[in-house]
Amino acid sequence: MKKTKSTTESEVVMTEVVYPNDANPMGMLQGGRLVQWMDTASAVCAQTHAGRIAVTALLDKVVFKSPARVGDIITINAKLVAAFSTSMEVCVQAWARKVISGDKHPVCEAYFTFVALDGNAKPASVPKLKLKTAEEQVLFEQAESRKLQRSKG
Ligand SMILES: CC(C)(COP(=O)(O)OP(=O)(O)OC[C@H]1O[C@@H](n2cnc3c(N)ncnc32)[C@H](O)[C@@H]1OP(=O)(O)O)[C@@H](O)C(=O)NCCC(=O)NCCS
């Protein structure tokens, strides 16, 4: 296993289309369906970084910014912001795009925490995150601060 990995080695971009079965009676994408897609994208990101199976431990700061509607194209970006001992935090952002006009707007943002597991389903160590930019450093420090706050209960 590599000891250190950069964010680009695990970043995930996933695309979905909003069908009527994903929407409420007003044609708006259901929050639970969107979170399911975001969970999948962020799990792939975390597992790629860890090189292990990882389970969702926490959804933090989930904000639904504006609705997506039937027919919209949803783009989900999942990027690792922190790798600790066995846990990792992933920032996940979703946008909706209109097929014809191309107009794009943010729909949701959240931070997902995953814990890597060994073959006995026990927490297992993950590679450190190589921080390459000042922005990545800031995001890492914010994740560290959230983890510290959680540990204080
Ligand atoms: C997540 C889980 C594996 C943690 O197991 P645990 O024995 O409590 O783990 P530990 O107390 O040893 O902590 C291990 C790491 O997980 C982190 N962690 C545990 N619970 C957490 C939570 N609720 N939120 C954020 N991080 C958490 C700890 O901070 C620690 O991180 P670190 O090693 O990077 O410092 C366990 O609680 C679990 O299996 N939960 C259910 C997961 C699940 O079913 N998800 C949905 C399906 S994928």
- CA 97/CA 89 separation, integer angstroms: 26
Share of the chain above pLDDT 70, in %: 100
Residues of 10-41 as b/e, b for ≥16 C-beta within 10 angstroms?
A: bbbebebebeeebbeeeebbeeebbbebbbbb
Hey, what domains does the chain have and what are their CATH numbers?
A: 4-151 (3.10.129.10)
* pLDDT given for residue 153 in this prediction: 81
Q: For the segment 59-78, what is each residue's pLDDT rounded down to a tens digit?
A: 999 999 999 999 999 999 99
- The closest residue, in CA terms, to atom 46 on ligand 1 is 56
Q: For the segment 107-126, what is each residue's pLDDT rounded down to a tens digit?
A: 999 999 999 999 999 999 99
Distance between first and last Cα of the chain: 33
- The closest residue, in CA terms, to atom 28 on ligand 1 is 87
- The closest residue, in CA terms, to atom 8 on ligand 1 is 123
Task: Tell which atom from ligand 1 comes closest to the C-alpha of 126.
Answer: 34
Pocket around ligand 1 at a 6 A CB cut-off? 55-58, 84-87, 113, 115, 123
Confidence of residue 2 (pLDDT cuts 50, 70, 90): confident
pLDDT at 135 over 90: yes
Query: Is 91:139 a contact under the CB 8 Å cutoff?
Result: yes
On whether the pTM is more than 0.95, the answer is: yes
- The closest residue, in CA terms, to atom 21 on ligand 1 is 57
Q: For the segment 13-51, what is each residue's pLDDT rounded down to a tens digit?
A: 999 999 999 999 999 999 999 999 999 999 999 999 999
Candidates 55, 113, 115: which one to mutate for ligand 1, based on the most atoms within 8 Å of Cβ?
115
